[in-house]
Amino acid sequence: MKPRKIAPYACLLAGTVLTVAAIARQSFVEAPAAFATPLLANDPGSQSASNGIPEPVIAGFVPDTFALDQQNFEAREGNDTGLGPVYNATSCADCHQNPVTGGPSQMTEVRAGHNDANGNFVNPTIIINEGQNTITGRSIINDRAICPQAEEHLPPTENIRTLRAALNTLGDGFVEAVDDSTLREIANQQPGKSNGLIHGETVEAPIFEAPGVTRIGRFGWKDQHGSVMSFAADAYLNEMGITNALRPTNVTQVCNTDTTSPEDTADQTGLTGLQHFTQFIRGTQVPPRDLTLVGTPDVIAGETLFDNAGCSTCHVKTMRTVPPGTVLNGGTFTVPDALGDKIIHPYGDFLLHDVGTGDGIVQVGPLDTAPKLRTPPLWGMRAKSRLMHDLKSLSPEGAILRHGGEASTAQEAFRAMTPEQKSQLLTFLKSL
C-alpha cells in the first residue's frame, strides 16, 4: 500500500510532533474509513468490507471470514445457549448498531453503588430471589433476567446511580494498536496547552488474556480495558450473561439454564464467539468523515474555532499506530499490516477527564477517577442523535454547554462566539 496524501494535521508520537513530510517519509498511511458493515437479515455480512485484517486459518477447520465474524457479532443468544441469568441484550449488535454493525448505541445501561464512611466508592449489593441470593462485585445493573427470581432491583442504599451508553467499536483495532507511550505523552502535554487546567489521566487496565499483565486502558467509559479481547469478554459476560474463556463464572446461578463452563464454545471454524467478536472489531474500518462537507469554507472555519477554543486538547485529531509486527497485550496479539503504521483521526485522547459530568463510579482506576470519564472520540458523531455518556444531550450544542471542569474554558469560548461562528463550529462537528 502506498502512502496517501493526508490532511495537514500534527501527529503525536512519543513526545514528537510529526509534520506531514515526516509522516510521509515514514510511510504511514491513512486507516481505511467507511461505514462498511451493514446489518442484513438475509445473507448477513455479505456486503461488508473489513480493513484488510488477515483471517485466522486453523488446520483441520473451516476457514474464518469477516462475514462470519460479523454474523457472530449479530447472532442472538437464548436460554438454550447460556443467556443470562441476568443480561441487557441478546446480541452484541443490540448495543453496537448505529448506523452499521459495530457502531455506537442509543441504548443505555445502569451503573450504581455507594460511598463508604470514608468517601470511597463501593460496588452495590443486589438482593435477588426474595432475599435468598445476592449479586456483588460489579457496578453494572442488568435490566433483564430469564426468570423473575433473578431480576435485579436497586435498593435505596445504592444512591450513586448513572446511565451509560454503549460505545462505538468501529476502528477499535486501530485504537488498540496505539502505543501506551503516545497516550502518556498526550496526557503530559495537556497541562502546558491549557495553563494547567487539563491533564488527562491514564489508568492501567488488566489484560484478561495475559494474566498479570496491564496496559493503559482505552476502552469503556472508565478506560477499564486495554485490549479488544478483554473488552469483548467482559461485555459477553456482563451484557449477555455468557461465560467465556476469560470470564468463566456467572454472576448468579439463580435460574441458570446452561451448566456448560464456559458457555461460549468453538464452532466449525475452531473459533469461539469471543474470538469472532474480537476479530470482527479489529477488522472494522474507522468511521468516515462526511466528504460532502469536508473542505467547505464553513467546516474549515469551524475547525479553526474548534482548535482556538481548546477542544482539540482533549479531542485529539491525529494519532498513529505502532509498526506491523509489534507484539501487544502480553504477547497475545501481534499487530498485522492492516493495523500497523496507520494514521487515525479519532478526535479523542482516550484519557480520563473531569468535565463536570462524572458518574461517581470507580472501576479499575484509583479513587480519583470517580468524577472522571473517557473523552469520547468524535469520529462518526454525525450518526448519533443523542450525546454524552448518559445520552441526555440531544444536540451537539447541548453537549458543549454541559462541559465544565477541565473543559470549562471550551464551554466559555463557545458561549462567546457569534451566531455565525457557532454555526460554523457545529457544521464542522457535523462533518465528523
End-to-end CA distance of the chain: 25
Structure confidence at residue 26 as a pLDDT band (50, 70, 90): low
Q: Which of 185, 191, 170, 274 is nearest to 231 (CA)?
A: 274
Burial of 201 (0-12, 13-18, 19+ CB in 10 A): middle
Structure confidence at residue 415 as a pLDDT band (50, 70, 90): very high
Give alpha helix (H) positions in 9-121: 20-25, 66-74, 92-95
- Residue 18: pLDDT over 70: no
- Residue 8: pLDDT over 50: no
- Residue 2: pLDDT over 90: no
Q: Tens digits of per-residue pLDDT, 270-306?
A: 999 999 999 999 999 999 999 999 999 999 999 999 9
Neighbours of 136 (CB within 10 A): 12
- Give me the percent of the chain exceeding a pLDDT of 90: 92
Give alpha helix (H) positions in 153-253: 172-176, 180-193, 228-240
What mean pLDDT is predicted for residues 133-161? 97
- Residue 104: pLDDT over 80: yes
Query: Is 13 or 19 the better-scoring residue by pLDDT?
Result: 19
Tell me the pairing of strands 86-87 and 144-145: antiparallel
Q: Is 130 domain-assigned? A: no
- Residue 1: pLDDT over 80: no
Q: Is 383 domain-assigned? A: yes
pLDDT value of position 27:
83
Structure confidence at residue 5 as a pLDDT band (50, 70, 90): very low
Q: Which three cell numbers stand for residue 146?
A: 430469564
- Are 48 and 70 contacting, i.e. CB atoms less than 8 angstroms apart? yes
- Give the whole-angstrom CA distance, residue 78 versus residue 84: 8
Please give the distance of CA 126 from its chain centroid, rounded to a whole number. 27
Eight-class DSSP state of 330: G
**Mean of the per-residue pLDDT values of the chain:** 93
- Number of residues that this document lists for the chain: 432
Q: Is 299 domain-assigned? A: yes
**Residues contacting residue 335 through CB under 8 Å, at least 6 positions apart:** 177, 321, 322, 323, 324, 325, 326, 327, 328
- Residue 23: pLDDT over 60: no
Q: Tens digits of per-residue pLDDT, 361-374?
A: 999 999 999 999 99
Burial of 367 (0-12, 13-18, 19+ CB in 10 A): exposed
pLDDT value of position 13:
34
Q: Tens digits of per-residue pLDDT, 152-163?
A: 999 999 999 999
- Residue 263: pLDDT over 90: yes
pLDDT value of position 234:
98
Amino acid, res. 12? L
pLDDT value of position 260:
87
Domain membership of residue 181 as a residue range: 11-103+165-430
Query: Is 15 or 376 the better-scoring residue by pLDDT?
Result: 376
- Give the whole-angstrom CA distance, residue 275 versus residue 44: 18
Q: Is 123 domain-assigned? A: no
Q: Which of 180, 182, 179, 283 is nearest to 228 (CA)?
A: 283
pLDDT value of position 22:
44
Q: Is 116 domain-assigned? A: no
- Are 8 and 303 contacting, i.e. CB atoms less than 8 angstroms apart? no
The pTM (predicted TM-score) of the whole model is 0.93
Q: How many structural domains is the chain composed of?
A: 1
pLDDT value of position 21:
44
pLDDT value of position 10:
32
Q: Is 263 domain-assigned? A: yes
- Residue 96: pLDDT over 70: yes
- Are 317 and 20 contacting, i.e. CB atoms less than 8 angstroms apart? no
* 3-class DSSP state of 21: helix
Question: Which of 3-7, 33-37, 47-51, 119-123 shows the lowest per-residue confidence on average (mean pLDDT)?
Answer: 3-7
What mean pLDDT is predicted for residues 15-40? 72
Q: Is 404 domain-assigned? A: yes
- Residue 14: pLDDT over 60: no
Q: Is 89 domain-assigned? A: yes
- Give the whole-angstrom CA distance, residue 166 versus residue 363: 16
